[in-house]
Amino acid sequence: MITVGVLTVSDKGWSGERQDISGKVAQEILSRRDISVVNYDVVPDEKELIVQKLIKWADEDKLDVIVTTGGT
């Protein structure tokens, strides 16, 4: 089984000011193709936090694919 994570980069999504639509849509598209998303998170648009999450998911959680959305 392929393990997938969806990571949304959004200051407003992270703070709760805005609902994360793009991350939910990504999960929906993947699930329609029988791909299970095992990790999902929203992080602020801060390089170090993004890098930390990607490293954790890749190295510790051993995800096969990480889909990112958002960011500027």
Q: Strands 37-43, 65-70: parallel, antiparallel or unpaired by DSSP?
A: unpaired
User: What pLDDT score does 36 carry?
Assistant: 87
pLDDT at 34: 84
For the cut 70, the answer to whether the pLDDT of residue 72 exceeds it is no
The answer to whether 57 and 5 are in contact (CB under 8 A) is yes
Total domains in the fold of the chain? 1
pLDDT tens-digit readout, 10-42: 999 999 999 999 999 999 999 998 898 999 999
Burial of 19-44, coded b for 16+ CB within 10 Å and e otherwise, reads ebebbeebbeebeeeebebeebebbe
**Which CATH number goes with the domain that contains 14?**
3.40.980.10
Reported pTM = 0.91
pLDDT per position as a tens digit, 35-71? 989 999 999 999 999 999 999 999 999 999 999 999 7
Closest C-alpha among 27, 17, 24, 20 to residue 71: 20
